[in-house]
A and B are shown apart, each in its own frame.
Chain A
Amino acid sequence: MRRLTTFGLLLALASAAHAEPPLQTGVEEAGRQAFATPMAGLDAERSAAFLRGRSLFRQVWVIAPSRDEAVDGLGPLYNRPACTSCHPANGRGQAPEQPGQRMASMLVRLSLPGRGAHGGPLPHPVYGDQLNETGVPGVPGEGRARLVWTQTAFRFADGETASLRQPRIEFDELAYGSLDGVLTSARVGPPVFGLGLLDAVDDATLEALAAEPQADGVQGRVNRVWSPQASTPQVGRFGLKANVARLREQIAGALHGDMGITSTLHPRENCSAAQTACASTPNGGQPELSDAQLDDMETYLAYLAVPARRDLDAAVVRQGEAQFQALGCGGCHRPQLVTGERAADPRLRGLTIAPYSDLLLHDMGEGLADERPDYLASGRDWRTAPLWGIGLAQQLSSSAGFLHDGRARSLSEAILWHGGEALPARERFVALPRENRQALLAFLGSL
């Protein structure tokens, strides 16, 4: 059942002064379309662009040359052939359970110690900044990454137990030589709704949040990253380390890095000089994704509605919400942000949104550290993950994983992995009576 909402986390109504009707940025939808529904109020032109963008997002891309020139250009090196491979139902990916299982919806970032162009990670000279496991015919895939899990038992004071698993990345079948000394970071695909709202938050808002002192010594920091769109450093907000400034760049970067599809923002194929077969492979046009197609994908991802909260009036949810604040979770997982003036669509400006994130970097401790710096983000830093919709993640995909590498199989496990600046909040969670912990989880389930 779906009914557009006018309440809950959709606090978003644009100024009545605009000629267009206000956008309803959220949707009361808890079924399989929860993350795939457009905001209500799109005009015919945007609706058409949204649908074209949806087709591209779901498209299984074709290896060039092909008679379907609009969607060819996969590879030469790639991870998966469709956006939805890593964002199933527009939600989270998952980590492989077994060592031999393929990374169906996650990838491994690579770099060497040091800084690359514009201060970003220094790509591996042969493998680049991401392991592309697959190649088109004639181009060997770069190799296979597998996760080997180490389990640690955890016991709450009241006897409840949890098993925390930590991955170790190993490589097999490396086709282009050793990866010794490489820095790695495994990432599951994150959910993709509400991104237009995050894109609409002004840099100044994030910088102001970073300047606010928080309890427990929590201090968020903005990442400053190179923007290929603006050709200047910008405040980062997308990506698990806030290493991308704009939504359009995030889309173009993922298409290029994960699928080998070029665009005007990434005009060169993802082949290194040592990958000669890769470099001599036919392409699907220059660029392979047209600006018009990128526009459509941006429209699609900008206007995917945020699922409304559920069970708002349940006592346990209200109790959990109070716990959330009392534990200090809301210091980073900010319940509200306000969009600024930078969105091209005026109806995305001045909205109060509820991502439960400050979009800032925080030291999350040793347990979650990947030891792979990314611009100003250290190996222990991660961007506060938005929590909106998190209560539906495992309804859409029962095996969806939490945290950057999908290690947490439940929200309770995810909380237990919090360290660094979040350690005091985590310890208060651990000390809660079971009933209060359940209330907190019920609140998260309502998001």
Chain B
Amino acid sequence: MSVHSFLSRRRLLGGMAQLGLFCAVRPLLAAPRELTVLTSYSETVLARIEEAFERAYPQYRLNLLWRMPHDAIGYLSQPRQGDVDVYWAASPRTFEALRQQGAWRALPVADAGLADHIGALPLLGPERAYRASELAGYGFAVDPQALAGLGVAPPKDWSDLADPRLAGRIALPVPSQVGFAPPMIDIVLQAYGWQRGWALWSEIAGLSYLVPRGSTFISDEVVGGRAAIGLSIDFFVASAIAGGARLEFLYPAHGGLNPGQIAIAAASRNGEAAEAFVSFVLSEAGQRVLADPDIRKLPVRESVYAQLPETYHNPFRNAAAGGYEYRGDAGSGRLGLIAALFEQMLVAQHERLVTLWAQLHQLEARRGQRLDDIRGQLGAPLIDEAQAADVQLLAGYRRNLEGATMQPDARELGWAALAEQRYRQVADSLQRLA
């Protein structure tokens, strides 16, 4: 559909003068200058930043346009980039894809006090095209009482989730639907390796129930007692904890961070205002807003942590101890593919997967030994890592950005058939051994 024509301030004034609306002209001249920010942050984040920014810079007024990341590329690809000045969102793939299209101008913002990396994660994009403005960590929302009731110790790492006592009590967001989930899958694949990582996901998924995109939060699942552990990104849970929820959030030994980033549109005609906004978001004052109890994101300015409670997760400290070796930039190119593989291997036939893992765990318990051959069949990835690195294949899945709803293509249906065939074989093997 057509894009609205941009009504410039000059044209507006001219039009109003022609209409004889002189009474309105005087105040317009004194009006703050408008700055358009395209974003996908929650209303709470936007309201807090808007208030703080406009207080600090009364000469500017924010015009916040909201789009999910999968809808942002199209919007920013309009003439004059839709008159957007700043893009600010938690979608590294979108920022990088747009950088490759020349969508950003180099950030002129001073770097003092801002690190270029945290652990293995770059915080500054290539050519200074974008910069991380906040971080979110992956981990486990747990109900300690529920875990104690199951006799399970709080998990320290992803492999601790592969515990048959947790059957049906892990809430697992569906990566093809829930925006934050694909990097979480990749964290495990990078940490444990492709083969072992998929095997671990198979077992975890077999012990989990799925949480699709929609209305429920992972923290709801744990607070409501349905799950003892929810796999999540931290701020949803930290905010619930700040609101009084009886939860804990545990960061795994193999952690991972997802950055929210900020960039200035190449076509921006409000360069000065855009720079002011970026500077503010990255400043001490802007970064402190992230610690609001209703937001609870992780600042990228390390000095801010000195002003936060000791219990506030400090990723810089964790990274110094080796906790954040996950390469989000390296993984970002394959997240769409991984989500599609996860969907066909573990989601589409989830009920069957749960049954098979339950049968396998029972059999192993009865025999007192691991049945590695069957495990190998059940958890084998649908394609090997070399195939997953194929440039053409990856290109086909880059479109699967956060928020997108995709129909499976012929290749994915082939993966589904392969998974189905393997599960049939596993079922036969289990029957023979039972």
A-B contact pairs, 16 of them (CB 8 A): A2-B244, A29-B244, A32-B244, A32-B294, A51-B220, A60-B46, A61-B66, A62-B68, A67-B71, A67-B74, A81-B64, A102-B61, A138-B7, A140-B7, A172-B31, A277-B4
Give the CA-CA distance A259 to B403 in the complex, in Å: 23
Q: Is the CB of A32 within 8 A of B4?
A: no
With contact pairs A52-B214, A68-B403, A81-B43 given, residues A31 and B71 touching in the complex (Cβ less than 8 Å): no
Other CB < 8 Å A-B pairs besides A60-B46, A137-B6, 5 of them? A32-B293, A67-B71, A82-B43, A143-B24, A172-B31
A215 in the interface (beta carbon within 8 A): no
A217 in the interface (beta carbon within 8 A): no
Q: Is the CB of B24 within 8 A of A88?
A: no
Contact with A along B65-103 (1 / 0, CB 8 A): 111101100100000001100000000000000000000
Please indicate the chain B residues that have their CB under 8 angstroms from the CB of A173 in the complex.
Answer: 24, 27-28, 31
With contact pairs A172-B31, A173-B28 given, residues A33 and B1 touching in the complex (Cβ less than 8 Å): no
A162 in the interface (beta carbon within 8 A): no
Q: Is the CB of A33 within 8 A of B243?
A: yes
Q: Is the CB of A175 within 8 A of B58?
A: no
B308 in the interface (beta carbon within 8 A): no
A139 in the interface (beta carbon within 8 A): yes
Size of the chain B interface, CB-CB below 8 angstroms: 54
Q: Is the CB of A139 within 8 A of B74?
A: no
Q: Is the CB of A89 within 8 A of B294?
A: yes
Q: Is the CB of A102 within 8 A of B43?
A: no
A100 in the interface (beta carbon within 8 A): yes
Q: Is the CB of A1 within 8 A of B246?
A: yes
With contact pairs A32-B293, A102-B61, A281-B4 given, residues A54 and B43 touching in the complex (Cβ less than 8 Å): no
B44 in the interface (beta carbon within 8 A): yes
A4 in the interface (beta carbon within 8 A): no
Contact with A along B351-374 (1 / 0, CB 8 A): 000000000000000000000000
B2 in the interface (beta carbon within 8 A): yes
A161 in the interface (beta carbon within 8 A): no
Please indicate the chain A residues that have their CB under 8 angstroms from the CB of B36 in the complex.
Answer: 137
A55 in the interface (beta carbon within 8 A): yes
B321 in the interface (beta carbon within 8 A): no
Q: Is the CB of B215 within 8 A of A54?
A: yes
Q: Which range contains the number of A residues in contact with the other chain?
A: 35 or more
A85 in the interface (beta carbon within 8 A): yes
Q: Which residue of B lies closest to A50 (CB)?
A: B215
Q: Which residue of A lies closest to B403 (CB)?
A: A68
Give the CA-CA distance A65 to B163 in the complex, in Å: 47
A136 in the interface (beta carbon within 8 A): yes
Please indicate the chain A residues that have their CB under 8 angstroms from the CB of B3 in the complex.
Answer: 137
> Ordered nearest first, which 3 A-B pairs have the shortest CB separation?
A138-B4, A31-B244, A32-B243
B47 in the interface (beta carbon within 8 A): yes
B23 in the interface (beta carbon within 8 A): yes
Please indicate the chain A residues that have their CB under 8 angstroms from the CB of B55 in the complex.
Answer: 101
Q: Is the CB of A277 within 8 A of B7?
A: yes
A174 in the interface (beta carbon within 8 A): yes
B16 in the interface (beta carbon within 8 A): yes
B431 in the interface (beta carbon within 8 A): no
Name the distance in Å between B270's Cβ and chain A's nearest Cβ: 14
Contact with B along A124-141 (1 / 0, CB 8 A): 000000000010111110
Name the distance in Å between A182's Cβ and chain B's nearest Cβ: 13
A58 in the interface (beta carbon within 8 A): yes
Q: Which residue of A lies closest to B67 (CB)?
A: A62
Please indicate the chain A residues that have their CB under 8 angstroms from the CB of B61 in the complex.
Answer: 102
**A175 contacts which of B24, B50, B244 (Cβ < 8 Å)?**
B24
**A174 contacts which of B23, B63, B67 (Cβ < 8 Å)?**
B23
Give the CA-CA distance A29 to B223 in the complex, in Å: 14
With contact pairs A2-B244, A81-B66, A174-B27 given, residues A51 and B215 touching in the complex (Cβ less than 8 Å): yes
A181 in the interface (beta carbon within 8 A): no
Q: Is the CB of B54 within 8 A of A66?
A: no
Q: Is the CB of B215 within 8 A of A138?
A: no
Q: Is the CB of A88 within 8 A of B47?
A: yes
B21 in the interface (beta carbon within 8 A): yes
Q: Is the CB of A60 within 8 A of B42?
A: yes
Give the CA-CA distance A53 to B216 in the complex, in Å: 11
Q: B394-434: which residues lie under 8 A (CB-CB) from chain A?
A: 403-404
**A137 contacts which of B4, B30, B42, B43 (Cβ < 8 Å)?**
B4
B285 in the interface (beta carbon within 8 A): no
Q: Is the CB of A178 within 8 A of B23?
A: yes
Q: Is the CB of B6 within 8 A of A138?
A: yes
Q: Is the CB of A62 within 8 A of B66?
A: yes
Q: Is the CB of A104 within 8 A of B51?
A: yes
Contact with B along A270-289 (1 / 0, CB 8 A): 00000001000110000000
Please indicate the chain A residues that have their CB under 8 angstroms from the CB of B46 in the complex.
Answer: 60
Q: Is the CB of A66 within 8 A of B71?
A: yes
B12 in the interface (beta carbon within 8 A): yes
Name the distance in Å between A260's Cβ and chain B's nearest Cβ: 14
Give the CA-CA distance A48 to B212 in the complex, in Å: 13
Name the distance in Å between A370's Cβ and chain B's nearest Cβ: 23
Contact with B along A152-165 (1 / 0, CB 8 A): 00000000000000
Give the CA-CA distance A33 to B240 in the complex, in Å: 8
Q: B35-54: which residues lie under 8 A (CB-CB) from chain A?
A: 36, 42-44, 46-47, 50-51, 54
Give the CA-CA distance A63 to B3 in the complex, in Å: 11
B5 in the interface (beta carbon within 8 A): yes
B109 in the interface (beta carbon within 8 A): no
Please indicate the chain A residues that have their CB under 8 angstroms from the CB of B43 in the complex.
Answer: 58, 60, 81-82, 84-85
Q: Is the CB of A48 within 8 A of B215?
A: yes
Give the CA-CA distance A174 to B22 in the complex, in Å: 10
With contact pairs A104-B47, A138-B4 given, residues A172 and B42 touching in the complex (Cβ less than 8 Å): no
